[in-house]
């Protein structure tokens, strides 16, 4: 079992749900990313999603777009992101780290070289938004050879044929996009989420995490009552945006603690 599988197995035994925060590597500066990752773990994160900065992030709303822009001003590259994870692994060998991003940096580096480097530095999974499952066979096989989980997105508009295909290919967990829109949107309909998760579980045995639109403890608790994991991104990036250097880690930690307590009330 890799770190992702071990984490979910332990949570199931404890009758708890996973909290998966997202941050963008290099935001607000490369120097603080590893500190932020450790802070997330100390404040209740079970898995960390680390965004690879990209200039044209199609699935992300304005908040996460700005975080990528801030990171890119510091010239944060894919290799730089991998170096951050390697640094994190010097003192945390247990918390799963999942990269999230877009195809261009992976294509520029190359599948095989990326997989080797990612495995070496301690990456557990990766979600590339614009790799459609229909064209991801070689990609998934390459990751599998290096012990990295290929994680896929599903959404309210995903056709059944693609759901069945993803169910066969995906590893680690499924990321269900809870609404029609981009990250940071707030029109989350929990009834729709409940109905869709029941449908997805007819085909999918992996844990299902729900993200997009989760902004507070109330929503996090409600989603945790339906899903196996709660994914929170834009709300955390907002906290990073409005915090100065001295209070940033403290404020992000407080936010995550609030979410963690709310989730554990289920």
Helix (H, G, I), strand (E, B) or coil at 88: helix
Cα separation, 146 vs 122, in Å, equals 11
Tell me if residue 149 is catalytic.
no
Read off φ and ψ for residue 251, nearest 5 degrees.
-65, -45
- Region of residue 141 (left: phi > 0; alpha: psi -120 to 50; beta: else): alpha
Cα separation, 143 vs 124, in Å, equals 10
Tell me if residue 49 is catalytic.
yes
Stated as kind and residue range, the H or E segment containing 263 is helix 248-263
- Determine which one of 27, 60, 83, 149 is catalytic: 60
- Determine which one of 27, 31, 46, 49 is catalytic: 49
Q: Judge residue 62's burial from the number of C-beta atoms within 10 Å of its C-beta, 0-12 exposed, 13-18 middle, 19 or more buried.
A: exposed
Residues marked active site are found at 49, 60
């Amino acid at each position: 079992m890799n770190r992702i599988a071990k984490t979910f197995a332990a949570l199931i035994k404890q009758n708890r749900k996973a909290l998966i925060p997202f941050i963008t590597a290099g935001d607000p500066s490369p120097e603080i990313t590893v500190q932020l990752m450790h802070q997330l773990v100390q404040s209740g994160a079970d898995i960390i999603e680390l965004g690879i900065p990209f200039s044209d992030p199609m699935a992300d709303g304005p908040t996460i777009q700005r975080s990528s822009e801030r990171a890119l001003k510091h010239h944060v590259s894919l290799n730089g992101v991998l170096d951050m994870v390697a640094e994190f692994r010097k003192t945390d060998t247990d918390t799963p780290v999942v990269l999230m991003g877009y195809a261009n940096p992976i294509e520029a580096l190359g599948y095989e070289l990326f997989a080797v480097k990612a495995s070496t530095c301690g990456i557990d999974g990766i979600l590339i938004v614009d790799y459609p499952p229909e064209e991801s066979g070689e990609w998934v096989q390459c990751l599998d050879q290096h012990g990295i989980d290929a994680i896929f997105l599903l959404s309210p508009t995903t056709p059944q044929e693609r759901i069945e295909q993803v169910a066969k290919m995906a590893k680690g967990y499924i990321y269900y996009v809870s609404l029609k829109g981009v990250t940071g949107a707030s029109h989350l309909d929990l009834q729709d989420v409940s109905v869709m998760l029941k449908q997805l579980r007819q085909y999918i045995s992996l844990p299902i995490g729900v993200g997009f639109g989760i902004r507070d403890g109330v929503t996090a608790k409600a989603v945790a009552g339906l899903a196996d994991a709660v994914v929170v991104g834009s709300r955390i990036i907002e906290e990073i945006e409005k915090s100065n250097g001295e209070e940033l880690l403290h404020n992000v930690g407080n936010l995550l603690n609030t979410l963690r307590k709310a989730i554990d009330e289920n």
